[in-house]
């Protein structure tokens, strides 16, 4: 019968992961373009290709020279996929993040099964993770060409480090070094979380002579493998790009509150998986099993801005713990055997119904969450307007772009504009993370977006206060086609601006001096 349990587990796993794969691919299908962001990274990959895969010193983007200091592994993968398969680079940015996020399943399953010491809990945790919207929210975007590999290697190093400290061997030492190098060469935030979570693993399981030796050898191996990249960057630019980037975390005290509400998981409807996770947290604490609770709270302390995607790893495992130990065990009664749970599944219609309903319910929430992506990505009218700018406006022209966006890093129009038009968006913040004036640029960006639904005088005043000159104003927002936007109306009525282009949700005005 245990063979039947294994087969049933595989069936549930495959079915759940197919649903998770659909939820990841759907946004790229709906948008018809890279999802939300990626404009800066698009230029970085182009620079890498143009330099014949030799790391450039700078990337030219939006009229500025940005130190090429970002971990490059994702750029190399994207460039290679584009070149080897003769795939237009823009299509690689559209599809590769979603496709890469499917590798999460491969990495998550062995990690969850090992940490939870249960194949069943590992399978359910993997399915929960696959269907929670936050598990793919950042990675399927155009900018996911780097994030997806950072998250992938993060999961792999958590598995290999756990095995290294609990069942030491040369194999796990080598794998931990390789996976650690992979995460560092993929994404800076993922590297920070990987280091802190692996330190926790060492504190729980590696405080022995052999554990200390393996930890030191791992650190040394990772340093040796990543040294060529960092030596190249530091020899060119010094430490200033990294010191500047370290000050742009945009931390928020509300990150801690999100843990207790489960809102970071971004579930729709009734948050059933998050409710299970909170219940699982109580179970873990009552059993004095502290690894997952520490994993849950530590990322919010280390880096609140990027913590949500990392929190989801222990969150899904805690949910699986509660589902098996409380829900399934309660429905099956005293005869429940976790190692041979297929018997209880076969006998209990209630267990069949609960497992099936939870998977489909969570999948429905994931698909519903996908509906937001067309609203926050470049629309067809946005792309048409940017194409018009490229063909009709002199290269290097300076634009003010007003979208009313309340999250600077989610402004798809502002980020893609420089990559697609050969003109300059003077308020776009991407790229300034590596420079000393990032905070001022961020303040300027939000001050400009506050001009949406105000008179054109607001834009003029912004230009004077920021001491930046511009020739054009581009306004993009749902509702412009109906003519009910005050900024657009005032620009049309002014003698300072002339309407040059309007289609759908976008209007472009030329400024006279």
Residue 262: the pLDDT is 65
Neighbours of 7 (CB within 10 A): 11
> Does a structural domain hold residue 439?
yes
> Does a structural domain hold residue 246?
no
Tokens linked to 395: 């290269």
| Final residue belonging to a domain, choices 318, 339, 370 | 370
* Shared-domain flag, residues 332 and 414: no
Collect all residues with Cβ–Cβ distance below 8 Å to 451 and sequence separation of at least 6: 402, 458, 459, 462, 487
Q: What is the dihedral of CA 227, 231, 237, 243, to 10 degrees?
A: 30
SS3 287: coil
Q: What is the dihedral of CA 206, 209, 210, 216, to 10 degrees?
A: 80
| Final residue belonging to a domain, choices 321, 352, 370 | 370
Residue 43: the pLDDT is 98
> Does a structural domain hold residue 250?
no
* Shared-domain flag, residues 45 and 123: yes
* Shared-domain flag, residues 273 and 382: no
| Final residue belonging to a domain, choices 318, 351, 370 | 370
> Does a structural domain hold residue 427?
yes
| Cα(104)–Cα(278) distance, integer angstroms | 23
Domain count along the chain: 2
Residue 267: the pLDDT is 79
Structural domain for 477, as ranges: 378-511
The DSSP code for 316 is H
* CATH number of residue 427's parent domain: 3.40.50
Sheet holding 506-511, edge to edge: 424-425, 398-402, 472-476, 506-511, 497-503
Q: What is the dihedral of CA 482, 378, 405, 483, to 10 degrees?
A: -10
* Shared-domain flag, residues 401 and 428: yes
Stated pTM of the model: 0.94
pLDDT along the chain (513 residues), means of 10: 77 95 97 96 98 97 96 98 97 98 95 96 97 94 97 98 98 98 97 96 97 98 98 96 76 56 70 93 95 93 83 96 93 79 81 92 95 94 97 97 92 97 96 89 95 94 94 88 81 94 94 84
> Does a structural domain hold residue 268?
yes
SS3 149: helix
> Does a structural domain hold residue 326?
yes
* Shared-domain flag, residues 37 and 96: yes
* Shared-domain flag, residues 109 and 147: yes
| Cα(358)–Cα(76) distance, integer angstroms | 39
| Cα(117)–Cα(121) distance, integer angstroms | 8
Collect all residues with Cβ–Cβ distance below 8 Å to 396 and sequence separation of at least 6: 63, 422, 423, 424
> Does a structural domain hold residue 81?
yes
| Cα(496)–Cα(258) distance, integer angstroms | 47
* Shared-domain flag, residues 298 and 426: no
Closest alpha carbon to 14 in 117, 121, 109: 109
> Does a structural domain hold residue 199?
yes
Q: How far is CA 301 from the centre of its chain?
A: 18
* Shared-domain flag, residues 305 and 421: no
* Shared-domain flag, residues 325 and 470: no
Residue 436: the pLDDT is 87
């Amino acid at each position: 019968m245990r063979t039947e349990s294994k087969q049933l587990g595989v069936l549930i796993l495959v079915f759940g992961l197919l649903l998770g794969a659909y939820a990841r691919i759907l946004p790229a299908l709906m948008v018809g373009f890279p999802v939300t962001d990626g404009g800066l990274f698009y230029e970085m990959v182009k620079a890498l290709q143009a330099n014949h895969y030799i790391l450039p010193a700078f990337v030219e983007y939006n009229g500025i020279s940005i130190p090429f200091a970002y971990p490059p592994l994702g750029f190399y993968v994207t460039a290679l996929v584009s070149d080897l398969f003769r795939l237009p680079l823009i299509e690689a940015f559209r599809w590769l993040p979603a496709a890469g996020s499917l590798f999460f399943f491969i990495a998550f399953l062995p990690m969850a099964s090992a940490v939870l010491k249960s194949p069943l809990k590992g399978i359910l945790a993997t399915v929960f993770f696959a269907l929670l919207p936050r598990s793919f929210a950042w990675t399927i975007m155009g900018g996911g060409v780097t994030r997806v590999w950072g998250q992938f290697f993060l999961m792999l190093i958590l598995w290999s480090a756990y095995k290294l400290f609990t069942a030491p061997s040369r194999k796990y030492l080598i794998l931990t070094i390789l996976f650690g190098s992979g995460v560092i060469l993929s994404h800076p935030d993922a590297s920070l979380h990987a280091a802190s979570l692996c330190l926790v693993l060492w504190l729980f399981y590696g405080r022995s002579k052999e554990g200390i030796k393996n930890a030191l050898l791992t650190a040394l191996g990772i340093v040796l493998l990543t040294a060529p990249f960092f030596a190249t960057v530091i020899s060119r630019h010094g430490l200033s790009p990294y010191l500047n980037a370290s000050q742009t975390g945009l931390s928020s005290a509300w990150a801690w509150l999100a843990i207790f509400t489960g809102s970071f998981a971004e579930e729709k409807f009734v948050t059933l998986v998050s409710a299970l996770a909170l219940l699982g947290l109580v179970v873990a604490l009552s059993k004095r099993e502290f690894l997952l609770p520490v994993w849950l709270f530590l990322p919010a302390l280390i880096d609140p801005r990027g913590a949500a995607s990392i929190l989801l790893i222990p969150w899904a495992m805690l949910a699986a713990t509660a589902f098996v130990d409380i829900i399934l065990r309660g429905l099956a009664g005293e005869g429940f055997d976790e190692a041979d749970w297929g018997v209880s599944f076969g006998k209990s219609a209630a267990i069949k119904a609960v497992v099936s309903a939870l998977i489909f319910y969570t999948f429905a929430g994931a698909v519903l969450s996908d509906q937001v992506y067309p609203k926050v990505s470049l629309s067809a009218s946005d792309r048409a307007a940017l194409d018009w700018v490229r063909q009709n406006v002199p290269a290097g022209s300076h634009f003010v772009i007003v979208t009313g966006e309340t999250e600077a890093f989610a402004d798809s129009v502002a980020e893609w504009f420089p990559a697609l038009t050969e003109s300059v968006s003077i308020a776009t913040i991407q790229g300034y993370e590596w420079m000393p004036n990032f905070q001022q640029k961020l303040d300027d960006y939000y001050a400009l977006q506050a001009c949406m639904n105000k008179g054109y005088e607001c834009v003029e005043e912004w230009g004077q206060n920021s001491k930046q000159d511009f020739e054009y104003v581009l306004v993009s927002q749902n509702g412009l086609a109906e003519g009910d936007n005050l900024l657009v109306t005032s620009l049309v009525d002014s003698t300072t601006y002339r309407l040059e282009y309007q289609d759908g949700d976008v209007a472009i005005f030329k400024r006279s001096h």
